[in-house]
Amino acid sequence: MQIEQLLYKNGSFDRPSLLGDQADWLLVFGSRMLVETKEVFDELRLRYPKAYIMGCSTAGEMNESYVSENGLCATAVHFEKSQVHFLENSFLDDADFFDVGQELLQNLETKNLRHVFLLADGLKVNGSTLISGFNCALPEGVTVSGGLAADNSRYKKTLLYANDYAKENRIVCAAFYGDIRISAAAATGWKAFGIERLVSKAEGRTLYELDGKPALDLYKEYLGESAKDLPKSGVRFPLSFRHENCEHSFMRSLQAIDENTKSMLFFGDIPQGSYCRLTHSNPYILIDGAREAAKLSLAKLAEKPQLAIPISCRGRQFILRQMTEEELEVIQDVFEDDITITGFYSYGELMCQKKIRSCEMHNQTMTVTLFAE
């Protein structure tokens, strides 16, 4: 595997391209303003004429050196022993994302398939439903990771590259085959508190009742003085959910509240019959979570990785503030030298967690995917 990384600064890329037409995959993460600039794509296509250009707008991009909210990072990869195939889907606003997920995987060759890395529109796609459909067609032993595109704190539109100019309403994935080793892991850094409550009424992404009581009223009781700043203050107190008879949990971030129905809208589906607890954190615990995700991913790999893709949640960034780069620094410390890092802050993270075979959508989570050839 040969890799090189370019950063877009002050209207141009910071170095010449050496891989050129040898590059198979060009992974691009950047601010929405740069991602939607056609001249940037044209320059990348000129530099890497044969590479499949895949990427998205972000709430901040990570590279080997730093975290930026207004830049663009392009990472070119040439595979020497393995193969990568690409697939994209453009969907309508009223799409059934369960069906979309199934159709995506059914259109991939599954023989010798090792891993699928997936990016999707962060505002139009129901990530939970998409991944549920994806899991139904997922062959045994194949892992999945990825994330939902972002638009910083604007939440206006998210854009994706799928080998042409960036667009909304899009899903794109890279499928890896052959002699390649890929590991992926996730960790949160959020601590649960309070009693566990039953999700007694929920539909899709909307939570109506906990233990038979209005969810919003109970949530406000826990938040106390912070309740007056909802939904913004909800970033500091996401909910952790687990399915019945399962220790594994997943995070959900609050998107909006409805005072009339006393309900709460989240960035991912809320399973009725699951159990939830309130969580809280601070920058130091979140940074420890990033370190744990990197260590877990590294422990799964039998050899030294060459490429790392960390994807962290926009909600974590809100808590970390000026300490955001420390998430990247602890990941760099775990991997030491001779590894290329490219990643982004997202509106949702996709990952197979611990012993759970199927992939799930997460919020408030750091995920790390490693590649070695």
- 30-70 confidence digits (pLDDT tens): 999 999 999 999 999 999 999 999 999 999 999 987 898 89
Model confidence at 19, pLDDT cuts 50, 70, 90, reads very high
pLDDT, tens digit, for every residue of 347-372? 999 987 544 556 788 999 999 999 99
- CA-angle at 352, arms to 250 and 367, nearest 5°: 75
- Report the pLDDT value the prediction gives residue 53, as an integer from 0 to 100: 98
Average pLDDT over residues 132-160: 90
- Report the pLDDT value the prediction gives residue 247, as an integer from 0 to 100: 73
Residue labelled with tokens 């990530």: 127
Task: Report whether 101 contacts 126 (CB < 8 A).
Answer: no
Higher pLDDT, 302 or 344: 344
Average pLDDT over residues 331-358: 83
- Report the pLDDT value the prediction gives residue 355, as an integer from 0 to 100: 47
* Residues 6+ away with beta carbon under 8 Å from 270: 199, 202, 204, 205, 206, 207, 241, 252
- Report the pLDDT value the prediction gives residue 354, as an integer from 0 to 100: 46
Instruction: Please name every residue paired with 368 in a beta bridge, in sequence order, or none if there are none.
Output: 185, 310
pLDDT, tens digit, for every residue of 250-284? 899 898 999 999 999 998 899 999 999 999 999 99
Model confidence at 26, pLDDT cuts 50, 70, 90, reads very high
Which tokens belong to 79?
A: 């595979």
- Report the pLDDT value the prediction gives residue 341, as an integer from 0 to 100: 96
Pairing assessment for the beta strands 340-341 and 307-313 based on DSSP bridges: parallel
Higher pLDDT, 315 or 41: 41
- Report the pLDDT value the prediction gives residue 373, as an integer from 0 to 100: 94
Q: Count CA atoms closer than 13 A to 78's CA, side-chain side.
A: 14
Which tokens belong to 287?
A: 């940074």
Task: Using alpha carbons, list the distances in angstroms from residue 4 to 18, 34, 41, 64, 108.
Answer: 8, 20, 17, 11, 28
pTM value is 0.93
Model confidence at 140, pLDDT cuts 50, 70, 90, reads confident
Mean of pLDDT over the chain: 92
Model confidence at 293, pLDDT cuts 50, 70, 90, reads very high
Minimum mean pLDDT range among 191-195, 209-213, 244-248, 314-318: 244-248
Task: Report whether 248 contacts 359 (CB < 8 A).
Answer: no
Residue labelled with tokens 């990197």: 294
DSSP state of 261: T
